[in-house]
Amino acid sequence: MKRRDKQHTQRQLRNSYFTTVISIALVLFLLGSVGYLMLNAQRLSNYVKENIGFNIVIKDNVREVEVRRLQKYLDASRYVKSTEYIDKERAARELQAQLGEDFVDFLGYNPLLSSIEVKLFAEYANPDSIKNVEAIFSSFTQVKEVFYQKNLVQKVNENINKISLVLLIFSALLLLIAIALINNTIRLSVYAKRFLINTMKLVGATKGFIRQPFITTSILHGFVGGVVANIMLGGSIYILHKELGGFIGFDNIELIGILFILVIGVGVLLSLISTFFAVNKYLRLKTDQLYF
């Protein structure tokens, strides 16, 4: 009978440890995911901005050698990330593919002009800088017209700022929720052992002595929960990187390592603080107060 009771108690303790660790791990996984998203926010912002392109339309009488010279000049500019020359024939083929009709054969000539598609570095992809760049491009003698989607540039910059603000607020709220969830999980775990705390207090154990095993266990819970969260986070990052490629960064191992250390550190710290206050609460209570 005693052996059965002992086995039942050990099973309950294992279940309690498992539940606590998993609860902490899930909360830390959410925190880590938001942290990783914030680390990639600038990368995502740059990716979007650097895909906003200029179309520099070249005059009809300009020789190709002059266009190539202009393209090399643009490639050497500090604000240009990449350029692509599209001659008249290629432009016609692309438009024919879109229309599904041979308009060159119908018209008897190719009315399209050659162009250079230019993409800027992210730091120059804002309305003010783009106006200056547009003025520079328009000043070239080979250029007939400079075209880009002004509304798109403005909307992209506005939306990126809004998303950054929302992400910051969401991160702060999630941190508060994480603290509350981990705190409640730890408090429930300590609550189940309140009579053990009271018994140790009655036999003359000091507060530090009573606290010690709970503190040690809380550190272990936080550490293991952090490791489990990092395993889930690492797997999620790998899958996202595989599926989305350039959108999600997996190449900065040092940054990811720092994030993993922070996840474990936050897990240990929150678990430790919550346990300390929860144990102190029951150390202050009298025996008759433990039943309420």
Buried b (16+ CB within 10 A) or exposed e, 40-78: beeebbbebbbebbbebbbeeebeeeebeebbeebeebe
Say yes or no to pLDDT of 6 above 50: no
Element (H, E) at 86: strand 80-86
Identify which of 222, 242, 81, 58 has the alpha carbon closest to the alpha carbon of residue 138.
58
Q: Which residue has the tokens 């350029």?
A: 83
Q: 30 versus 6: which is more confidently predicted?
A: 30
Q: Which residue has the tokens 């106006």?
A: 131
pLDDT given for residue 291 in this prediction: 62
**Residue 58, strand partner residues:** 143
Residue-wise pLDDT tens digits, 217-270:
889 989 999 999 999 998 888 887 777 665 555 566 788 888 899 999 999 998
Identify which of 41, 22, 17 has the alpha carbon closest to the alpha carbon of residue 170.
41
Residue-wise pLDDT tens digits, 86-96:
888 888 888 77
Percent of the chain at pLDDT above 90? Answer: 8
pTM of the model: 0.63
What are the structural domains, with CATH classification, of the chain? 2-47+156-291 (no CATH), 53-148 (3.30.70.3040)
Say yes or no to pLDDT of 2 above 60: no
The alpha carbon of 238 is separated from its chain's Cα centroid by a whole number of angstroms, namely 13
Say yes or no to pLDDT of 14 above 70: no
Give one DSSP letter per residue of 250-279, joined into a string: ---HHHHHHHHHHHHHHHHHHHHHHHHHHH
31-35, 36-40, 264-268: segment of lowest average pLDDT: 36-40
Residue partners of 237: CB distance under 8 A and separation at least 6: 36, 248, 250, 256
Round the average pLDDT of the chain to a whole number and report it: 80
Give one DSSP letter per residue of 186-222, joined into a string: HHHHHHTTHHHHHHHHHTT--HHHHHHHHHHHHHHHH
